[in-house]
Amino acid sequence: MIEVPVDLPGRACRLLAGPGLLAQAGTLCAEAGLHGTCAIITDENVGRLHGAAATQSLATAGFAPRVLTVPAGENSKSLSAAEDLIDRMLDAGLDRGSFVVALGGGVVGDLAGFVAAIYLRGIPCVQIPTSIVAQVDSSVGGKTGVNARAGKNLIGAFHQPRLVLADTLTLETLPDREYREGFAEVIKHSVIRDAAMLEELDPAAPRADLAPLIARNIAIKAAIVSQDEEERTGLRALLNFGHTVGHAIENAAGYGRLLHGEAISLGMYAALFVSEKKYGLPREQADKVRAKLRAYGLPVVLPPDLGTDALLSAMRHDKKFAAGQIRYVVAPHLGEAFVADDVTEDDIRAAIDSLRK
């Protein structure tokens, strides 16, 4: 078990990565000062695989867990799904002393965290991420939310988890496509903060050996979040490298057609294009990133039915636009990124068109 430090004054938040943490969830929740009834929010797939283990661990430690299941997939990140969960939690008798356990990938983590943030004006949340995306990125940092028709994550709240348990044994049950897509976020962390990590990424590495890599990525995310928790200084915005175009692709394609990491792979290709053409990113460095995305089987060519104008329209509703100004993350060198304020719509149009080759 590897513990990753995070500095959030006034809030207890413990981040752990390693094999077997799911079986220790009850004990660790008790150590975190939680008690009483809890809602285990999960999806149909993860619930079938890991719901019983989570329930047993929590019950053995003296908690009263209630399993609440939602359909698997991005469509569950909605206000209607959140409202339904809240009604079911009220029916189950959860009160201000209760807590939520988010057991699943990024969709479940975002949805369950949002429900915890707004239920009775906020109750504690424990994140038990079961996908690469969730373990290295979405479970850490306190961003929660659901999608609106106009775009991804436009309804949400900051709500830091009390505990994050990244059990690497749960990665063994991930389908190959869902496993590989998560490495888009790992590669993103390499681009913005840890260039050396890019060289060390190995698509053939056994899943059982990933705990140090997961912890390394959690540390990157935690360090950035601790300095700019609510994205006020612009530092946390660096985590959006590849996400401006990536989120637009997810939205325009229809949620679920492309997995999050697959869309972010295309978004990073676009961001590399802008970084290289306008901010001096050396071609050989950009090519290293592209090669690693391809090595994980991530998409590098935009589906032909996604028109450039449709993507630009989706981008204008993204929360990364401020007062009509594009906030676009670029990388002049591997391991270094910043938010540029002079990226134009024409620059992004050219980057999108480059994805068609």
Domain co-membership, 33 together with 164 = yes
Residue 226 buriedness (CB in 10 A; 0-12 / 13-18 / 19+): middle
| 226 half-sphere exposure, CB direction, 13 A CA radius | 18
Q: Hey, which residues does 166 pair with through a beta bridge? A: 17
CB-based contact 172:251 (threshold 8 Å): no
Is 317 a known active-site residue?
no
Whole-number pLDDT of residue 158: 96
Question: Both tokens of residue 329?
Answer: 């993350």
Is 278 a known active-site residue?
no
User: Is 12 contained in some domain?
Assistant: yes
N- to C-terminal Cα separation, the chain:
44
User: Is 192 contained in some domain?
Assistant: no
Whole-number pLDDT of residue 69: 98
Is 260 a known active-site residue?
yes
* Residue ranges making up the domain that contains 59: 2-174
Is 243 a known active-site residue?
yes
Residues 6+ positions from 282 with CB-CB distance below 8 Å: 276, 333
Is 45 a known active-site residue?
no
Annotated catalytic residue, options 77, 221, 288, 320: 221
CB-based contact 18:2 (threshold 8 Å): yes
Is 143 a known active-site residue?
yes
| Interval 3-22 mean pLDDT | 90
| Interval 292-301 mean pLDDT | 97
Annotated catalytic residue, options 181, 231, 250, 276: 231
Return the number of other C-beta atoms located less than 10 Å from residue 208's C-beta: 11
Whole-number pLDDT of residue 256: 82
Is 221 a known active-site residue?
yes
Annotated catalytic residue, options 159, 260, 278, 327: 260
Name which of 334, 39, 85 is nearest 199 in CA terms: 334
CATH number of residue 287's parent domain? 1.20.1090.10
Annotated catalytic residue, options 45, 147, 217, 240: 240
Is 35 a known active-site residue?
no
Is 236 a known active-site residue?
yes
Q: Reply yes or no on whether the pLDDT at 320 is more than 70.
A: no
Q: What is the mean pLDDT of the chain?
A: 95
CB-based contact 17:168 (threshold 8 Å): yes
Q: Identify the domain boundary among 111, 139, 174.
A: 174
Annotated catalytic residue, options 185, 229, 250, 262: 185
Is 257 a known active-site residue?
no
User: From CA 108, how far away is CA 77, in angstroms rounded?
Assistant: 8
Domain co-membership, 149 together with 263 = no
User: From CA 80, how far away is CA 227, in angstroms rounded?
Assistant: 33
| Interval 31-57 mean pLDDT | 97
Band (pLDDT 50/70/90 cuts) for residue 322 is low
User: From CA 313, how far away is CA 48, in angstroms rounded?
Assistant: 39
| Interval 67-82 mean pLDDT | 96
